[in-house]
Structure 1
Amino acid sequence: MSDTTNRPQAATAEPVSTGSPGSSGKSLALAKNDSSLVGERGKTAISDIVVAKIAGIATREIDGVYDVGGATERVVGKVRDVLPGTATSTTQGINVEVGELQAAVDVSIVADYGVAIHQLAAAIRRNVIAAIEQMTGLEVTEVNVTVHDIHFGDDDESVDEEPRVQ
């Protein structure tokens, strides 16, 4: 008789590589071991709106992002800013899908003119992934960035000019 049959197997805490680009490979291990999103004593569910807010704030932190959202979302956001009792939406321009252990994010932005868009998208991707994985323990499978427009710095100055006719 072998003495290994009654010996309990040791659980490993090594991270499982998920293969997703920009991921450190530790997120799946965190989701399964450290954060206990699904455990023997219960389940933690994280709402889509929570992940969307985290992604929205992380996107706005990046230099070169002028605004978040497509044209319609930005117009609604400007109307919301003017109305008393309303606040700017942190989820504007952010769409998420959240599962039990994973999340996918779509981000729509307006970039500042002169910024390298591919580097801006990479920076947004890194920041969003880091923020979501750190705060929720969810593995971020993808962050898709759509650039809807470019903002020129002189666009704001044209509003402040004196009228040509008095």
Structure 2
Amino acid sequence: MKETQIHIRPAIPSEHGSLEDLQLRASLANPGDREAIQSAPDAVDLPLAQIIDNRVFVAEVNAAIAGFAVVLPNDDASAELDGLFVDPDMWRHGIGRALVDYCVDSARRQGVSVLHVTGNPHAGSFYLRCGFEPGDEVRMRLGAARRFRKIV
């Protein structure tokens, strides 16, 4: 099988709608998220300011958007992986992992010492494979989740 060539770059404002559409498709394709998203469609939200502030990173395959991630700074020397979405047609091609690795490297270059993420129960094994350590379970708007952290 040919290896997928993934290019990661900052998002641009004109991609805002496409990225929100991708987030919705990815969320609805996940059985663990579908019902919650359908009951709260306003939860699919990517603030344009995050794109303008260079906090959103896009993964491209063959010049097409295949996924994106959002990294937000915290008040301490840590940051939050606040969103990670891959087009369902591109699942299991290494795009999510490439985005995590890119975000970890980016955070490290900015002096961040720890990257946090809050993941749905079905995402936990993915974050563990990416080297995150499990933390406490938390309640989020759409249900139970777990906090993870990775020393960068």
Higher relative contact order structure (alpha carbons within 8 Å, sequence separation ≥ 6): 1
State which structure, 1 or 2, has the greater radius of gyration over its C-alpha atoms: 1
Q: Would you call these one fold, judging by a TM-score over 0.5?
A: no
TM-score, length of structure 1 as denominator length: 0.31
TM-score, length of structure 2 as denominator length: 0.33
Q: Greater strand percent: which structure?
A: 2
